[in-house]
Structure 1
Amino acid sequence: DLKKMEAEWEIIIENWKDTSPMFSEEGVQLLGRRLRRSARALHRNLQFQWPQHRTLVHGDLKTANIFFNEADTEVAVVDWQWCGEGVGVVDLQYLMHTSGSIEVLQAEQQILQLYHECLLANLRRFGKHDQAATYGLETMVGQYEVATLDYVRFLIGSMWGRTTPASCLANADCINQGMHKRSTAHLIWLVQKADGLLSQLEQRRGLAASELLQAPSLAAPSTMEPLSAAAASSSTAVDPIGSGAPVVAQVLSAAISLSELGGAVAREVYAKGDLRTVNKDADVAEGFDPQTEADRQVEELVVGSLRRLFPGLSVIGEEGMREFNQAAVPSPWCDEVAAWELSPELLKARLEDLTVWVDPLDGTREFVEGIPEAVTVLIGIAHRGSPVAGVIHRPWGLPSTNVDHSRHMTHGQGQTVWGALGIGVWGLRGGRGKGTAMCLPSATCNVLRVATSRSHKTAASSRAVEKVQPAEEFPHGGAGNKVLKVLEDEVDVWLFASGGTKRWDSCAGEALLRSVGGFLVSYDDGCPYDYSRDTPSQNSNAYGTPIFSAAHGCYLLS
């Protein structure tokens, strides 16, 4: 609730403005906005970046909930608030910041080092030598800092408005209250600490806070006016959602939302039963290249919205529509990607350097034939011709219990998988990191599992499969669907040796594969594709022969 948060900050400023320069519009309000914009990134780091460093998290570990025996040899902890799996330093920072004196906080680095030494000793004691060998002090301190930022984000968003200097004095001896409610010095220390830690994250990418917060308002418009010719030629992002974020983060965040809205449109058309299918290309080898009402409506929504939201952005859709009546749809996930997560190259990317390739309904043939689970909405983002970010949305995805519930990855029946270079891939099903992949497992050459085309069977594709000699072959429909099979470790290779695949089929998938160490290349020369705006949409080599043809192919390896 952004209005509620803004109101909380105003109360904080009024109550604390005489205690520290941090409690001003340029201080705590600026910090609050920066933390809010980093909220999902902080969550991703805590929940998924360190899958090998998991333990049981208490959630409210303060001295009031810890009991010792008289000899100080045994400890009991009560009032568990979370009692779930997480990073152990979440509880450590909570204990430090709710129960530690100022002297304890000032000795924070020494305490962390001592804690780390004791932790490693106990890991070895219980035979966890591999974990002890890989859990360095720098890693633990990094986790601790992220947990601290997330804790301050929680406090500054909904709790501090009720805390005043007078209430701190009244609560001074209430050990069940956190120290930030009992001590003015603690509150100031915590705000300054969070400001410093967040600045460190931003500065590692060459950021300054002023670069990120140019937007005058956090409110997102509900619609945008149609573009004028002058506006459409602009090379600068208009930042319609008021995020102040880098262009790549804005476009990716909008793409995530629009893919899900597009998935909802596809489900609605499918439910009505009248797909209004036409043959858009009678010259294809199969003699029938279907286009449905869902293809047209989803392209109008996604391509039209992106063009209106980001004047000057090059957006190329499969259906080649020229007229768009759909009003722009602002992204409710405007803060999905934090600036400090992006690589330096993407951080400084300009709108004019980006090209977005959209397949509104990949797997239309399967859609028409009643196999909707193979259908995906594909949105790929290329920077200077290289795929750097992508979204694959399954309108007919998975039950919410099988997908990362905390990431809002399931809307209705859909599943959204997205990612970018340096961030990894999020929203996957299965056990790999609870919905995330930072690196694909290595394939074993003598037991390769290969995904092939369900509908494009040719002599060339059969020869290509024979050359790879897979242990298992799985025919699947849809390019995006087959990429997901690789990402979710159901297959090791996608082998396609037929004509017909275009840039909008492969851009999103290639970006996601590259984000986790996979690749998508031409079978004949091993080169990646160029996704520049002036590149022909057909995946082809210098001689004009389709890369996905009888003589050539593309295959994806982890």
Structure 2
Amino acid sequence: MTSKGIRVLPMRVALLVVVTCLVVYYFVSKPKSEPKGYVDLHRLLVAGIGAAEMGGNEVRRVREGNTLGEKSKGETLEGVNDPLTMGDTASHRVMYHSLKAAFPMVNVVSEETDVKDSELLIRLPPLANEEVGKMGLGSEVVNASDVTMWIDPLDATKEYTEKLLQYVTTMVCVAVDGKPVIGIIHKPFERKTYWSWVGHGTNIDDKSNDDITKIIVSLSHKGDVEDVAKRAFGDVSVIGAGGAGYKSLALFDGTASVYVHTTRIKKWDICAGNAIVRNAGGHMTTLTGSEIDYSSHGSPINDKGLVAAVRKHQHYLTKLNFGH
């Protein structure tokens, strides 16, 4: 593969290229101070950014080539079609297998599973992310068995099929002992990556505003939350949007002051956003105020909804009066 062109490689060869590059990166960059059975979270951050961007390249390639190959996984609880596309599976392959090859001792949980395909187009971004490498974030070595990486190869698949591409993201989250500590949200069609490492740093410009109540919710159940919100706050703006990743980032750019979800949601949808909100001093909890456990044991489903806010989380939780 050269920088002057793009080659279409057979599936096995393409995956071998990705895996080989990340394995080399793993051993070359491995700090001498990292004991056997342990992993440095700084390397997980850098590799996670690379994986999210590789997945984003696949998501963008499939959409721009109009080769979605759309199927249905069934319906959501709201009765909305839950589609699966070649963008989902192609992104899953490069994200999941590259991370597992580089960090074999770390448990990686993905929304999708392996599905055979004849060919994949691989575009490898730089693995040593210059921005992160120059920020002096330090290191934090943890027991690899305590780490779970949650990946969402394509968030907002329904909107992806409808060309509502502003909502589409790829996400990686690192949880230690069930707590989200690294969140990475990549917007493929804007070619932008947002990340936070709790207690170490972020590249997100926090423009959150708690003066105006703007509630962002899923497009599929905007009406339900709007009724509750109006009873709690009176005149309130309820914004419907696709994708949990998009909605989490909307808390930082002034689009919304609180993110509410009233039905079940998968942990790979919300873990990255939870880490980003947590790093900013905010909270993402269930509707009753309980913390969400992102360890690998137990169900990947959070069936207790969520309330997320960078500021005044308890205020919103109390006013919305969920579960009472």
CA positional deviation for 1:350: 2.1
CA 1:386–1:238: 2 relative to 1, 3 Å: farther
Q: Distance in 2 between matches of 1:424 and 1:225?
A: 29
Higher helix share: 1
CA 1:310–1:238: 2 relative to 1, 3 Å: farther
User: Corresponding residue for 1:455?
Assistant: 220
Q: Which runs of 4+ in 1 moved over 3 A?
A: 221-226, 282-285, 320-331, 337-340
User: Corresponding residue for 1:260?
Assistant: 53
Bigger relative CO (Cα 8 Å, ≥ 6 apart)? 2
CA 1:285–1:419: 2 relative to 1, 3 Å: same
Maintained 8 Å contact 1:316/1:357:
yes
- Which ranges in structure 2 are unaligned for 5 or more consecutive residues? 1-15, 32-38, 312-324
What secondary structure does 1:280 align onto?
strand
Q: Distance in 2 between matches of 1:482 and 1:557?
A: 12
User: Corresponding residue for 2:105?
Assistant: 312
CA 1:468–1:299: 2 relative to 1, 3 Å: farther
Q: Which of the residues 482, 486, 505 maps onto 2:269?
A: 505
Q: How does 1:41-60 map to 2 (within 5 A)?
A: none
- Aligned residue pairs, count: 284
User: Corresponding residue for 1:244?
Assistant: 30
CA 1:374–1:224: 2 relative to 1, 3 Å: closer
| Worse-superposed segment, 359-368 or 274-283 | 274-283
What secondary structure does 1:381 align onto?
strand
User: Corresponding residue for 1:443?
Assistant: 210
CA positional deviation for 1:239: 6.4
- Please tell me whether residue 472 in structure 1 is matched to residue 258 in structure 2: no
What secondary structure does 2:62 align onto?
helix
Q: Which of the residues 304, 307, 312 maps onto 1:547?
A: 304
TM-score w.r.t. structure 2 length? 0.78
Amino acid at match of 1:419: S
Maintained 8 Å contact 1:510/1:519:
yes
Maintained 8 Å contact 2:151/2:268:
yes
Q: Distance in 1 between matches of 2:188 and 2:125?
A: 20
Maintained 8 Å contact 1:393/1:415:
yes
User: Corresponding residue for 1:514?
Assistant: 278
Amino acid at match of 1:242: V
Identity percentage of aligned residues: 26
CA 1:278–1:450: 2 relative to 1, 3 Å: same
Q: Distance in 1 between matches of 2:308 and 2:56?
A: 27
What secondary structure does 1:289 align onto?
strand
What do residues 437-470 of structure 1 show as CA deviations (whole Å, max 9, x unaligned)? 4xx65613xx3111121123453x2343224426
CA 1:455–1:287: 2 relative to 1, 3 Å: closer
CA positional deviation for 1:334: 5.6
Q: How does 1:318-357 map to 2 (within 5 A)?
A: 318-321=111-114, 332-333=127-128, 336-337=132-133, 341-342=137-138, 347-357=140-150
Q: Which of the residues 288, 296, 309 maps onto 1:556?
A: 309
- Please tell me whether residue 391 in structure 1 is matched to residue 184 in structure 2: yes
User: Corresponding residue for 2:173?
Assistant: 380
What do residues 174-217 of structure 1 show as CA deviations (whole Å, max 9, x unaligned)? xxxxxxxxxxxxxxxxxxxxxxxxxxxxxxxxxxxxxxxxxxxx
Q: Distance in 2 between matches of 1:263 and 1:417?
A: 13
Q: Distance in 1 between matches of 2:133 and 2:90?
A: 27
Q: Distance in 2 between matches of 1:339 and 1:486?
A: 24
User: Corresponding residue for 1:530?
Assistant: 293
Maintained 8 Å contact 2:175/2:182:
yes
Larger Rg: 1
Q: Distance in 1 between matches of 2:287 and 2:277?
A: 16
CA positional deviation for 1:378: 1.0
- Please tell me whether residue 415 in structure 1 is matched to residue 169 in structure 2: no
TM-score w.r.t. structure 1 length? 0.47
- Which ranges in structure 1 are unaligned for 5 or more consecutive residues? 1-220, 227-236, 398-413, 429-435, 540-545
CA positional deviation for 1:270: 0.5
CA 1:264–1:554: 2 relative to 1, 3 Å: same
Maintained 8 Å contact 2:209/2:254:
no
Q: Distance in 2 between matches of 1:474 and 1:283?
A: 20
| Worse-superposed segment, 484-493 or 314-323 | 314-323
What secondary structure does 1:333 align onto?
coil
What do residues 249-276 of structure 1 show as CA deviations (whole Å, max 9, x unaligned)? 1111011112112111111100111311
Amino acid at match of 1:482: K
Q: Distance in 1 between matches of 2:56 and 2:250?
A: 19
What secondary structure does 2:58 align onto?
helix
Maintained 8 Å contact 2:111/2:268:
yes
Q: Distance in 2 between matches of 1:479 and 1:520?
A: 12
Q: Distance in 1 between matches of 2:19 and 2:96?
A: 14
Q: Distance in 1 between matches of 2:27 and 2:170?
A: 23
What secondary structure does 1:487 align onto?
coil
Maintained 8 Å contact 2:72/2:81:
yes
CA positional deviation for 1:238: 9.0
CA positional deviation for 1:488: 1.8
CA positional deviation for 1:473: 2.0
Q: Distance in 2 between matches of 1:478 and 1:348?
A: 32
Amino acid at match of 1:478: G
Q: Provide the alpha-carbon RMSD of the alignment.
A: 3.0
